[in-house]
Amino acid sequence: MKESIIRQKHPKLKHPDSNPALVEKTVSTEPIFEGKVVSLQVDTVTLPNGQTGTREIIRHPGAVAVLAVRGDRMLVVDQYRQALGRTELEIPAGKLDPGEDPEEAAKRELREETGYRAKSLVPLPAFYTSPGFADEVIYLYMAEELEAGEMELDEDEFLEVSEITLDEAYSLIKEGRISDAKTILAVYAWHLYQLTGKL
CB 140 within 8 A of CB 67: yes
pTM over 0.85: yes
Q: What is the pLDDT of residues 45-59, one digit of tens each?
A: 999 999 999 999 999
What is the average per-residue pLDDT within 91-113?
95
Three-class SS of residue 114?
Answer: helix
d(CA 98, CA 116): 24
Whether pLDDT at 155 is above 90: no
Q: Left (φ > 0), alpha (ψ -120 to 50) or beta: where does 173 sit? A: alpha
Q: In this predicted structure, what is the pLDDT of residue 81?
A: 95
Instruction: Find the mean pLDDT for residues 85-100.
Output: 95
Query: Smallest Cα–Cα separation from 167: which of 198, 129, 135, 194?
Result: 194
pLDDT at 135 over 70: yes
11 has pLDDT over 60: no
The set of catalytic residues is 155
**Cβ proximity of 164 and 76 under 8 Å:** yes
Measured at the CA of 99, the angle between CA 97 and CA 102, to 5 degrees, comes to 70
Q: Flag whether pLDDT at 2 surpasses 90.
A: no
Could you report how far apart the first and last alpha carbons of the chain are, in Å?
10
Determine which of 13-17, 104-108, 193-197 has the lowest per-residue pLDDT on average: 13-17
Cα 39 from Cα 59, distance rounded (Å): 5
CB 124 within 8 A of CB 67: yes
With contact defined as beta carbons under 8 Å apart, do 62 and 106 qualify? no
What's the Cα-to-Cα distance from 102 to each of 34, 95, 110, 124, 165, rounded to whole Å?
A: 23, 9, 12, 12, 27
For residue 12, the model assigns a pLDDT of 56
Burial of 50 (0-12, 13-18, 19+ CB in 10 A): exposed
